[in-house]
Amino acid sequence: MNGSTSRSQAEHSEKQTESSKVMDHEQFRQAGKEMIDYVADYLQNIRERRVLPTVQPGYLRALIPDEAPEEGESWREVMDDVERVIMPGVTHWHSPQFHAYFPTGNSYPAICADILSDAIGCIGFTWVRAVPSTHTTAHSFTSIASPACTELEVAMLDWLGRALALPEPFLASSGLGGGGVIQGTASEATLVALLSARSRRVRQLRQQHPDWTETAVTGQLVAYCSDQAHSSAERAGLLAGVRMRQLPTDSKFSLRGDTLAKAIQNDTARGLIPFFVSSRSIITTHSRGEYPNCAREINAPSQAPEKLAHHKYLVVVAKVSHLDHTSFSGGTLAEVRQHELKQTCDSSRKK
């Protein structure tokens, strides 16, 4: 009896010692290897798991303490809780038997990249221009927030923009004010793109008309998406406080440039201010309608009158397929058209 009690006390003491310590380097190595094995086994055998959970709302609260524990648990207990508490309430999106929506980005290289990213743990702000010293009048650039993070995002989104054949003004490397930004979700990307376009247009108009208030300008703005666009496009308009007009699509569920041009002309005649089009997706969510490049179509001389081509209209691709959550912003139609005309002339000279 005494021996059993002593052994129990020793195990309890060992457990307390293990859980009270912060994980050190060697423990991290061991736990990390175990986690990699767990993830590999999970994905390799995911077809054996039930795709949809059968739990009822509120199931999880009964499986965990009412209050946060005062002492941490061992890593083994934490992993046991993953199967006991978490997995019963998980929808396994990467199961070959899951046919809804689309797969999320969790390839093995992406998982490894997440480990490295979490280890570095940098905050991707931007370059900061330093005040010139007394020894020179030139400005120098410095950064305390990992410029590699910022510059890699800019460069790789230019890769994506070129892969999608976006017009050059949509790329950061063009020097025309374009560029892409990674967001947390597709809906967030749509909203951020819309807010950016609204801010730019309001600023332009208030510079031209100093007596106009921001509220008055915002009340006249109108944005466009297709009738096949995801609901987040309409929701972005509501959150931004602007009109979001849904435009009809053709027999292939595609939004065409002539439809967009007509809508812009009609709204301009009504005194509204077009400022944004959500090309939304290369493939729409529910109809899989393909979006042609409306910016190119509306820039074609046969499609756009001269006065329309110079309309201060910001074209934005809010979400690029389901590969990522990315917003691209470009210049006005006039800027896009001017750049493409220059490229055509340069190409003709080379010939």
* Model confidence at 335: pLDDT above 50: no
CA distance 14 to 102: 46
The boundaries of the domain holding residue 31 are 2-89
Do 176 and 317 lie in a common domain? yes
pTM above 0.85, yes or no: no
Count of domains observed in the chain: 2
Q: What pLDDT score was predicted for residue 336?
A: 46
Q: Which residue has the higher pLDDT, 320 or 30?
A: 30
pLDDT tens, 282-293?
Answer: 444 554 444 445
Q: Specify the CATH number for the domain of residue 330.
A: 3.40.640.10
Statement to judge: residues 187 and 70 lie in one domain: no
Kindly tell me if the per-residue pLDDT of 230 is higher than 60. yes
User: Collapsing DSSP states into helix, strand and coil, what is residue 277?
Assistant: strand
Q: Which two tokens stand for residue 116?
A: 């490295």
Q: What is the pLDDT of residue 129?
A: 57
Strongest mean pLDDT among 55-69, 118-132, 181-195, 220-234: 55-69
Rounded CA-CA distance 327/161 in Å is 10
Measured distance CA(313)–CA(330) in Å, rounded: 10
| Domain end (from 66, 89, 112) | 89
